[in-house]
Structure 1
């Protein structure tokens, strides 16, 4: 109990974090499994349950989500983390806070603003029937007629192919593109056993893959995470893979397929938190309209194909005033800058 929090935190394992996001899943962050990404740092208090996930970037500690902790430890953990940041002469910038986090952070003196939304499909009512989905059905059919075979794959057997797809995929994103980290998932490593991998191949050559990570909380299921394709893959390969995965999930009785966080989308005055920054609000709308930092409209168009039935607003928070520098460092932590 006399162990300093920083010393204790250095011993926190990914397995402990995984148990925290499962046990305290009432946090209802559909991206919570990203907490166990390799490269993350953790803050915890000796003798108290719960954990905070972060990465240093510049003069900031960039926090992912709110504290994964029971209600009676939530605020203590947040305030201790604030002290921890101050000891390093850094400040906190948090990303992907959920609505209940946003209100608590605002009460603690943070400036909190909408920064985007996450999306999910109710698999109990999911359908691609009807004229609305004719184009998607046709795209999937064309991909399958090209000889595409879709399977749920063992990662170890396809790891070389996945890495080759990753190498070939990045140039498709444009000159100077970098692979995102932190706010997206990973493949391989100790936590791969908790993920699921669906691939599309033609005669054994990998054409594309989608990695799914588990989602806990009141809307449990799976999150459509990394999705990458070969430059020479047939049109519709990603849609065909995802439809095959949906069919498997539905057969297993899963309730939700989440599509994760898309920055700058679904912004609304009615969902801003009291005390939010008007300047930061303007910036989020500007980035949506101009697609400078992130191709949000492209990502949203893909997600909209799947008959989304749940939209969750997500927030950013800054200790004190909202900061453009803090927002830049959020993206720096995610390897986008």
Structure 2
């Protein structure tokens, strides 16, 4: 008998991520508000949220490769028993092939970006502007440190409120596909902040990344309106150098929707309608998601790895399912 339980032990979920995930963003499955599907006969977990008549699944099946199809088919049975359909977001290429084999329509929805840390340097003309930007920020007296969340939660909340107000009165904070600060798994994350004369100007939260490219995920980041140029870059360089010195292999910049789209990445049977819609959002979708700005920030670090990521519909592609994804992530 399969089970679904919002209160499943987080240690059990974390164990499944460590053993059965090759998705650099898998740690986001532990976000507050997610539900988890398990099959007692198999060691694996599916993270999802409910939205209308859909179950919005995040990041594929977190299980050993040999068990993934069994867990996925059990999850589909669970969804159908409640007269719901599954739509999965942020799948990796291996996931995409599995889901297509199980009857899903699968389309590329964006890409993720990563830098290999051993030997990484900002030397050379390619990074001259980035070096200069960081140098100016440091010359202003900026101090970057790693701190426990509990020591600066009030400052972070203040920056978050200011950041959200700057986006407009009707804008909500995006959820589900981005990380968070605080909560029961905060001790697994790393938090770096920048201060000037004691005032916090910005922060970046990093989450652990598992699988074949282990390291850290550049996750949630915010800056104060008064922060000078180069603050976020100075924080990230400080983190990269520290992670590299600790022996970490990769820094992942995470998923950016509507970027890196290419016909060569599509899975056989992909929806032409969805492909055209994704390209439309890539060209004109800044009001839905600020992909261009995110991509520019990630590309300035010279990522050596660009991975396509996928969206999968149980059966035929559906605009109703895409709408529910936008709702559950608060992108509308």
The answer to whether 1:107 aligns with 2:107 is: no
Shift of residue 218, structure 1, vs aligned partner:
0.8
For residues 198 and 11 of structure 1, do their structure 2 counterparts lie closer, same or farther at Cα, with a shift above 3 Å needed? closer
1:20 corresponding residue in structure 2: 16
Q: How does 1:57-76 map to 2 (within 5 A)?
A: 57-76=51-70
1:183 corresponding residue in structure 2: 177
Kept in 1: contact 2:6–2:34 (CA 8 A) = no
1:54 corresponding residue in structure 2: 48
2:317 corresponding residue in structure 1: 322
State the alpha-carbon separation in 2 of the partners of residues 177 and 121 from structure 1: 31
Task: Give the number of equivalent residue pairs.
Answer: 331
Shift of residue 10, structure 1, vs aligned partner:
4.8
State the alpha-carbon separation in 2 of the partners of residues 172 and 302 from structure 1: 19
State the alpha-carbon separation in 2 of the partners of residues 218 and 227 from structure 1: 25
Kept in 2: contact 1:50–1:70 (CA 8 A) = yes
1:212 corresponding residue in structure 2: 206
Deviations along 1:110-162, one digit per CA (max 9) or x if unpaired, are 00000000000011132211122111111111111222110011111111111
State the alpha-carbon separation in 2 of the partners of residues 249 and 173 from structure 1: 32
1:5 corresponding residue in structure 2: 2
Shift of residue 73, structure 1, vs aligned partner:
2.1
1:273 corresponding residue in structure 2: 267
1:301 corresponding residue in structure 2: 296
Shift of residue 47, structure 1, vs aligned partner:
2.9
State the alpha-carbon separation in 1 of the partners of residues 120 and 166 from structure 2: 31
Mean CA deviation greater in 319-328 or 275-284: 319-328
Mean CA deviation greater in 231-240 or 110-119: 231-240
Mean CA deviation greater in 220-229 or 63-72: 63-72
Deviations along 1:55-110, one digit per CA (max 9) or x if unpaired, are 01111100001110122321121111111111222111100010001011111110
Q: CA RMSD in A?
A: 1.2
Kept in 1: contact 2:261–2:279 (CA 8 A) = yes
The answer to whether 1:230 aligns with 2:249 is: no
For residues 10 and 36 of structure 1, do their structure 2 counterparts lie closer, same or farther at Cα, with a shift above 3 Å needed? closer
Kept in 2: contact 1:126–1:307 (CA 8 A) = no
Shift of residue 52, structure 1, vs aligned partner:
0.4
State the alpha-carbon separation in 2 of the partners of residues 268 and 125 from structure 1: 30
Q: How does 1:126-205 map to 2 (within 5 A)?
A: 126-205=120-199
Shift of residue 11, structure 1, vs aligned partner:
4.9
TM-score of the aligned structures, taking structure 1 as reference length: 0.96
State the alpha-carbon separation in 1 of the partners of residues 215 and 226 from structure 2: 31
State the alpha-carbon separation in 1 of the partners of residues 65 and 122 from structure 2: 40
TM-score of the aligned structures, taking structure 2 as reference length: 0.97
Kept in 2: contact 1:9–1:45 (CA 8 A) = no
Give the gaps of 5 or more residues in structure 1. Answer: none
| 1:263 maps to which of 249, 254, 257 | 257
2:113 corresponding residue in structure 1: 119
Shift of residue 17, structure 1, vs aligned partner:
0.6
Q: How does 1:247-262 map to 2 (within 5 A)?
A: 247-262=241-256
